[in-house]
């Protein structure tokens, strides 16, 4: 680093003018050169031909391409997270944003804010599950268990748990009790060793298509098609403020 002497304005200087700052922005993942590479792998002539988007996402975060087990576990986790229905806040917000006329290129950003908050809530809720996965002591936390799972859900859990033994070896999921869908996804992501930022990023990314596809089903400015009294807010004037 070197001290960058910036022109002072009428002799007035502050830390940004005087303190030594780096002169260049560091790049670690994508080579900014004329041939774009992700952690060294050429995009156009290598990754685009021999890897899929999920592998490139893993590569970006982890620095290496995933092996077959990690790829399968990651794919399963993200598919489990994908379905967000219209009544869930991120999709509902995207629908409202579409109706309110948000431009198409900003709808993903609006949805991502809500999806990020949902991911935050889920991540916090499942902290006991992550602790259990690290220690395997005691019963699986109730907060992660499916509530009254159907036979199909129980069978699905057993199959995924069985597959996790092939993907993750001795870190496999137990065959029972059945976890709820989101908990199962987060369990796989945790067992893959992904940090919180990676989990939030992949979770948001996995859910954007369903959320925005739902928003696309309504027409921009179609206010009459939206249930405006859902819920039916009652405005009060009782002297109290919000």
Partner 1 sequence: MTTDRPETRVGHILYDGARFCGRGVFDELMSELPSGDELAATALGMRLDPGGREVWQRCAIALLSPDARVWPLKTVRVIASLGNPTAAFFGGQLVSSSPAMGPGAARGTAEMLTAIAETAMDLDDVERVSAATLDVLARSPRLGGFGVPFRAEDERMLALRASLAGHAAEQGRFYRLHLKVGSIVAAHRGVQPNLVLTLAALLLDLGCAPRRAGLAVALLMRPSFAAHAVEAADRDGPLLRELPPERLDYRGKAPRRIAETR
Q: Is the peptide bond before 231 cis (omega within 30 degrees of 0)?
A: yes
Of 1, 5, 10, 26, which lies in the binding site for partner 1, with binding defined by CB under 8 A?
26
Taking CB under 8 A as the rule, does residue 14 contact partner 1?
yes
Least distance between partner 1 and beta carbon 135 (Å): 24
**Euclidean distance between CA atoms 188 and 182, whole angstroms:** 10
Total site size for partner 1, rule CB under 8 A:
44
Closest separation in Å from C-beta 166 to partner 1: 19
239 binds partner 1 per the rule CB under 8 A: yes
Contacts to partner 1 from residues 57-86, by CB under 8 A: 63-65
Nearest CA-CA partner of 209 in 27, 62, 82: 82
d(CA 144, CA 181) in angstroms, rounded, equals 9
Work out whether 52 is an interface residue with partner 1 (CB under 8 A): no
Is residue 95 within 8 A of residue 218, CB to CB? The reply is yes
Q: How far apart are CA 149 and CA 129, in angstroms?
A: 18
Residue 95 CB, nearest distance to partner 1 (Å)? 17
Q: Is residue 226 classed exposed, middle or buried when 0-12, 13-18 and 19+ CB atoms within 10 A define those classes?
A: middle
Interface with partner 1, residue 241, by CB under 8 A? yes
- 115 touches 211 (CB < 8 A): yes
DSSP 8-state secondary structure symbol assigned to residue 9: B
Of 10 and 240, which CB lies nearer to partner 1 in the complex structure? 240
Using CB under 8 A, pick the residue from 7, 20, 32, 227 that binds partner 1. Answer: 32
Residues 98 and 215: beta-carbon distance below 8 Å = yes
Residue 29 or residue 213: which is nearer to partner 1 going by CB?
A: 29
Question: Which part of the chain contacts partner 1 (CB under 8 A), choosing from 43-51, 152-160, 167-175, 209-217?
Answer: 43-51
* Residues of the shown chain interacting with partner 1 in the complex, contacts defined by CB under 8 A: 14-16, 19, 22-33, 35, 37, 39-42, 46-47, 50-51, 63-65, 106, 109, 113, 231-242
């Amino acid at each position: 680093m070197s001290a960058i002497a910036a022109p002072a304005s009428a002799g007035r200087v502050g830390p940004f003018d005087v303190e030594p700052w780096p002169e260049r922005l560091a790049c670690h993942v994508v080579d900014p050169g004329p041939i774009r590479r992700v952690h060294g792998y050429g995009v156009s002539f290598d990754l685009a031909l021999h890897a899929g988007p999920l592998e490139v996402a893993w590569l970006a975060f982890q620095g290496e391409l995933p092996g077959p087990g990690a790829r399968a576990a990651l794919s399963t986790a993200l598919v489990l997270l994908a379905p967000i229905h219209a009544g869930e806040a991120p999709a509902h917000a995207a629908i409202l944003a579409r109706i309110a006329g948000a431009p198409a290129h900003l709808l993903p950003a609006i949805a991502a804010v809500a999806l990020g908050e949902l991911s935050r809530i889920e991540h916090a809720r499942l902290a006991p599950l992550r602790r259990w996965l690290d220690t395997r002591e005691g019963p699986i936390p109730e907060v992660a268990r499916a509530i009254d799972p159907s036979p199909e859900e129980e069978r699905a859990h057993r199959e995924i748990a069985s597959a996790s033994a092939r993907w993750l070896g001795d870190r496999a999921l137990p065959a029972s009790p059945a976890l709820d869908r989101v908990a199962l996804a987060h369990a796989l992501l945790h067992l893959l060793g992904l940090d919180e930022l990676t989990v939030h990023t992949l979770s948001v990314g996995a859910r954007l298509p369903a959320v925005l596809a739902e928003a696309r089903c309504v027409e921009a400015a179609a206010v009459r098609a939206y249930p405006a009294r859902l819920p039916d807010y009652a405005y009060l004037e009782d002297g109290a403020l919000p």
